[in-house]
């Protein structure tokens, strides 16, 4: 009985942790990885991805119809 309770609590805790991953966290992780990979290269500074706020702002603007 104690094992089932422990297993249930462990699973519930694990599922609660899944909700902590937001799109912003994923984006910032990718951005940080790109910055780390650019170290030691001849890439010009500030050529990577923009901050998440700027990305969301650009994404929310409706594209013009042609």
15 found inside a domain: no
6 found inside a domain: no
∠ CA 63-64-66, rounded to 5°: 130
- HSE-CB of 34 using CA atoms within 13 angstroms: 15
User: What pLDDT shows up at residue 42?
Assistant: 75
Residues 35 and 47: their CA atoms lie apart, in Å, by 9
Which domain, by its residues, includes 55?
A: 21-37+45-66
User: Each residue of 9-60: pLDDT tens digit?
Assistant: 888 887 776 766 788 888 899 989 988 888 877 766 667 788 888 888 888 8
In the block, which residue shows the tokens 């966290």? 25
61 found inside a domain: yes
Q: How many domains is the chain partitioned into structurally?
A: 1
Please answer whether residues 49 and 30 qualify as being in contact, where contact means their C-beta atoms are separated by less than 8 angstroms: yes
63 found inside a domain: yes
């Amino acid at each position: 009985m104690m094992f089932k309770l422990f297993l249930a609590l462990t699973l519930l805790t694990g599922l609660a942790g899944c909700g902590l991953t937001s799109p912003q966290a994923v984006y910032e992780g990718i951005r940080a990885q790109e910055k780390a990979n650019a170290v030691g290269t001849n890439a010009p500074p500030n050529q990577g991805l923009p901050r998440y706020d700027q990305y969301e702002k650009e994404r929310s603007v409706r594209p013009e119809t042609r």
